[in-house]
Amino acid sequence: MNQLSGPVPSSLGNMTDLEYLYLRENQLASSIPGFLGNLMNLVVLQLDTNQFTDFIPDNLCRGGSLQNLTMAGNNLTGFIPGSMRNCTSLLRVRLQENQLTGNISDSFGVYPNLDFMDLSFNKFHGEILVNWGSCRRLRDLRIAGNNITGSLPSEIGNATELQGLDLSSNGLIGEIPKELRKLTSLVRLNLSRNQLSGSINPEIASLSGLQRLDLSRNRLNSSIPESIGQLADLFHLDLSNNRLSQEIPGQIRMLTHLSELDLNNNSLIGEIPAQFSSLQSLLKLDLSHNNLSGPIYAIFEDMPGLATVDISYNEFQGPVPIAPS
């Protein structure tokens, strides 16, 4: 966190007892030097938020001690080196916001102690394989903004310690596997901006600690399951830009912590449930571009916290409710 510039000096390669090397948030440039692989005792290597280019050196995990590897926010290109696939000591890996490429199916192995992995906003392709389900201690997996295709494997349900899963902005297809119900520790689930289809499984209620759920911009159909009202800790729910139909379930009233609800651009019908007035924490509501009808209930008058409401492009009738003072 200084203004250091230029390349990493080669003399660092002689510090063979070095365990912790923090060079993050500077203006270091050139390529990441291969002599860092000589640091056989290296446990933590943080090079993020610099101006590094070219490839990740092939020998970084040569000593078998590397636990924390952070290279996010650079201009790295090329493939993940084979040494990282077998680096079973890894606990935390941050490679997001680079231009790394390669087939994600072949690039990563099984890491028995892995806690956190962020590969978001690179150029990885391929399919998500069963390996991630074998990382039993994994608590946060982020692979957003890549070119991942294929279906979401059911084995992901074996990573039962997961608290955060973000696979948004890829090309995933098929249905959301029912095995996700086993991820009972999930707090954040983001599968938005894919091509997922099928219905939302009512067993989503088993994710009782979920706080953020974003399934927007997919091809999900059928109705919003009533069981979604059992997610008592949910404060952000985005199901917009799908093909959901039927009525909005009244059980949504049970989401008393909900602050953002976005259901726009679906094919929902019926009236706004009168129970919406129970959503006293709601700040943002978007029901636009549906087939909702009936009167615009005065329920909005009982929701003083609302900051943004969009109910345009429906078939409502009656006077506009008076905004609360």
Token digits of residue 202: 């009512």
pLDDT of residue 315: 94
In whole angstroms, what is the distance from residue 265 CA to residue 103 CA? 34
**C-alpha torsion 289→290→293→295, nearest 10:** -50
Structurally, at CATH architecture level, domain 199-325 sits in Alpha-Beta Horseshoe (3.80)
One-letter identity of residue 302: D
- For 62-107, give the DSSP string: TTS---EEE--SSEEEEPPPHHHHT-TT--EEE--SSEEEEEHHHH
pLDDT of residue 184: 94
In whole angstroms, what is the distance from residue 47 CA to residue 120 CA? 17
- Identify whether the C-beta of residue 220 lies closer than 8 Å to the C-beta of residue 198: yes
In whole angstroms, what is the distance from residue 51 CA to residue 91 CA? 24
In whole angstroms, what is the distance from residue 280 CA to residue 228 CA? 18
Strand, coil or helix: what is 295? strand
Token digits of residue 300: 């909005």
Token digits of residue 239: 């199901």
Nearest CA-CA partner of 276 in 252, 305, 311: 252
Burial category of 304 from C-beta neighbours within 10 Å (exposed 0-12, middle 13-18, buried 19 and up): exposed
pLDDT of residue 275: 84
Terminal CA-CA length for the chain: 47
In whole angstroms, what is the distance from residue 301 CA to residue 307 CA? 12
- Identify whether the C-beta of residue 297 lies closer than 8 Å to the C-beta of residue 320: no
* pLDDT tens across the length of the chain (325 residues): 999 999 999 999 899 999 999 999 999 999 999 999 889 999 999 999 999 999 999 888 888 999 999 999 999 999 999 888 889 999 999 999 999 999 998 899 899 999 999 999 999 999 998 888 889 899 999 999 999 999 999 999 999 999 999 999 999 999 999 999 999 999 999 999 999 999 999 999 999 999 999 999 999 999 999 999 999 999 999 999 999 999 999 999 999 999 999 999 999 999 998 888 889 999 999 999 999 998 887 678 778 888 999 999 999 988 877 765 5
Contacts of 113 (CB under 8 A, 6+ apart): 67, 88, 89, 90, 91, 137
CA distances from 225 to 178, 182, 237 (A): 14, 18, 13
In whole angstroms, what is the distance from residue 208 CA to residue 196 CA? 22
How many residues does this entry show for the chain?
325
CA distances from 278 to 31, 75, 259 (A): 56, 48, 12
Domain coordinates of the chain in residue numbers?
199-325
